[in-house]
Structure 1
Amino acid sequence: MSSPVYIQIHNKIKKEIEANRWAIGERIPAERALAVQFGVSRMTLRQAIQTLVEEGILERKVGSGTYVARKKVQEKMSGVTSFTALTKAQGKKPSSKTVSYLVTTPSLSESEHLELAEGQKVLRMERIRYADEVPICFEVATVPYDLIKDYERKQVTRSLYQTLEQNGLAIGRAEQTVSAMLASERIADYLHLKRGAAILRLHQLTKLGDGRPFEYVRTQYAGERFEFYLEK
């Protein structure tokens, strides 16, 4: 099973960034030029670029272009962020709508974060998460397919953490980073926001109790409906 074309382009651009073709803070070529270079449509190229933006590898500047992202100052947060548990703790009813549910070849970023062996497949889920039926965030979660292949789809989409714990797997530590960005047209539509509205972007890599990374999540929260609370 080959990767979607936009993931293949994502991987090529990421490798070129890692090879220092463009320096940190440097603007990359326009989408039209890159689409010609890679021999794909502008729509496919734009999807690859947007994925890199959502991963924090590239950043868009309105009216200027797309740049190799600068490293952000990081603040450690404690605890594992489970949307289901977090929403219930606030006295609200969690729910979700699955946008896509695909067993596929991982992107280079997914493979690196999850420490996958060559040839391993992943499950990539895109979901809109709700609290009391109000859209709060759009989430892309990637897990090794071998880990969840014996579970029913609803066991994975409703609450993966709960399913794993019920089957004897302990949830361990999580690495989290939070940054700000502007909502793309697609995300604004999903979250009922205006295009360009403020978004809080969370990247989370969660590990099992034995230290194995099992979930790589990229989540975009509606800034006006969600806030992070840090406790030291």
Structure 2
Amino acid sequence: MTAASFQQPDRRRPEPLWFQVEEAIRAIIKSGEWSTGDQIPAEDRLCALFGVSRITLRHALRNLEDHGLLRREHGRGTFVRSTTLVAGTRELTSFTQEMRNIGVSVGSRILDCSLTKADAATAAALQIEEGDPVVRIRRLRLGNDEPIGIQTAQLSGARVPGFLDSGLLQGSLYEALERLYGIVPLEAQESYRVGTVPEADAELLDLAAGTPAFIVERITTDERGPFEYTVSTMRGDRYEIRSTLRAGRVPSNPRS
């Protein structure tokens, strides 16, 4: 790799230097010049190539790590990570938007769309009666053309009449719901557990049946209450949960 691969920040631009460095590194990764698993140059080398201080560079690298594009291994260096959706404290967004936020090309393949009846778990989640109609949408979710997970979303049929005939099943589900029905998510409750990939999903996820995976359940509500209940099976090597923990009390200052 030559120095020509690196675009140095323009100090005349209004964007901060760290932001320009971050965008430049994103471009290098997106171009494929740095591939999954590659170790990136050491910090001192990157500082020289970009012409920035170590503090500026570390700010950019930390953001890229938080967004799942890089991983830092103590004592070894920093590496380009595989397509990974990082879940933790974040805004309420769709899968499509989350992938866009980390610079990943999002894709989706519909496996099943049908009108069915709510079972006990779905009825409880959506606060409807067991046996009430629900729209069931099962999709294979992709990032950079690689399988990340299988999501099965169930929508209260009474809230989305005619949705299966809308022609808007591809793309962001939340964008379609807002456009057609004015449904805007306000809150979601998610639970995570470790499970295994069922045999029926193994080939789609390019994994062996029984491989450990995250099972994510999500109930999403708008101003009228729950409208979506989704159960996802996510590849453990491409889906990461990250949280920030804070102390429950602020320590006293003995000098105050």
Same fold (TM over 0.5): yes
**1:139 alignment partner, one of 151, 165, 174:** 151
Within 2, Cα distance between the matches of 1:156 and 1:127?
10
Question: Any conservation in 2 of the 1:78–1:230 contact (CA below 8 Å)?
Answer: no
Within 1, Cα distance between the matches of 2:201 and 2:156?
25
Matches within 5 A, 1:78-93: 79-93=91-105
Question: Any conservation in 1 of the 2:133–2:157 contact (CA below 8 Å)?
Answer: yes
Does residue 1:221 correspond to 2:234, yes or no?
yes
Does residue 1:190 correspond to 2:190, yes or no?
no
Q: TM-score, normalised by structure 2?
A: 0.56
**2:184 alignment partner, one of 151, 154, 170:** 170
Aligned to 2:140: 128
Question: Any conservation in 2 of the 1:181–1:201 contact (CA below 8 Å)?
Answer: yes
Evaluate the alpha carbon distance shift between residue 213 and residue 200 of structure 1 in structure 2; reply closer, same or farther with a 3 A threshold.
same
Aligned to 1:112: 124
Cα distance, 1:118 vs structure 2: 6.2
CA deviations 1:124-173 (Å, max 9, x no partner) are: 11111101110100111100122222444442442121122334332110
Aligned to 1:149: 161
AA aligned to 1:174 is: A
Question: Any conservation in 1 of the 2:120–2:130 contact (CA below 8 Å)?
Answer: no
CA deviations 1:10-63 (Å, max 9, x no partner) are: xxxxxxxxxxxxxxxxxxxxxxxxxxxxxxxxxxxxxxxxxxxxxxxxxxxxxx
**1:95 alignment partner, one of 89, 94, 107:** 107
SS in 2 for 1:187: helix
Q: Which runs of 5+ in 1 are unaligned?
A: 1-75
Question: Any conservation in 1 of the 2:147–2:206 contact (CA below 8 Å)?
Answer: yes
Q: Which runs of 5+ in 2 are unaligned?
A: 1-87, 246-256
Q: Which has the larger radius of gyration?
A: 2
Percent identical among aligned pairs is 24
Cα distance, 1:96 vs structure 2: 1.0
Which 10-residue stretch deviates more, 180-189 or 170-179? 180-189
Within 2, Cα distance between the matches of 1:91 and 1:77?
18
Within 2, Cα distance between the matches of 1:192 and 1:103?
28
Aligned pairs, number: 156
AA aligned to 1:178 is: Y
Cα distance, 1:80 vs structure 2: 2.6
Evaluate the alpha carbon distance shift between residue 153 and residue 230 of structure 1 in structure 2; reply closer, same or farther with a 3 A threshold.
farther
Q: TM-score, normalised by structure 1?
A: 0.61
Within 1, Cα distance between the matches of 2:175 and 2:242?
23
